[in-house]
Amino acid sequence: MEFVSPEGLRLDGRRPLEMRQLRAEIGAVSKADGSAVFEMGNTKVIAAVYGPREVENRAQQMNDQALVRCEYTMANFSTGDRVRKPKGDRRSTEISMVIRQTMEACIMTHLMPRSQIDIFVQVLQADGGTRSACINAATLALADAGIPMRDLVTSCSAGYLNTTPLLDLNYVEDSAGGPDVTVGYLPKLDKVTLLQMDSKLPLDTFESVMQLAIEGCKAVANYLREVLLENTKQLEYRRGS
Partner 1 sequence: MVGLSVGETNFIRGGIAQDLRCDGRKRLSYRPIHIDTGVIPQANGSARVRIGGTDVIASVKAELGRPNSAQPGKGKVSIHIDCSATAAPIFQGKGGEALSTELAADLQRCLLGGKSGAGAGIDLSSLSIVEGKVCWDLYLDGLVVSSDGNMLDALGAAIKAALSNTGLPKVNVIAADATSSGDQPEVDVSDEEFLQFDTSAVPVIVTLTKVGKHYIVDATEEEESQMSSAMSISINRKGLICGLTKRGGAGVDPSIVLDMISVAKNVSENFINVLDSEIAAAEAREEE
User: Binding residues for partner 1, per CB under 8 A?
Assistant: 28-32, 35, 42, 46-48, 50, 71, 73, 75-80, 82, 84, 87-88, 118, 120-122, 124-125
**Rounded Cα distance, 115 and 132, in Å:** 26
**Rounded Cα distance, 136 and 184, in Å:** 9
CB 170 within 8 A of CB 130: no
Give me the residues paired with residue 208 across strands.
none
Residue 189 CB, nearest distance to partner 1 (Å)?
29
Residue 46 CB, nearest distance to partner 1 (Å)?
6
87 or 238: CB nearest partner 1: 87
36 or 210: CB nearest partner 1: 36
83 or 203: CB nearest partner 1: 83
Residue 52 CB, nearest distance to partner 1 (Å)?
13
31 or 188: CB nearest partner 1: 31
Which residue type occupies 96? S
Q: How many CA atoms lie within 13 A of 21 on its CB side?
A: 6
**Length of the chain counted residue by residue:** 241
Residue 135 CB, nearest distance to partner 1 (Å)?
16
**Rounded Cα distance, 82 and 86, in Å:** 13
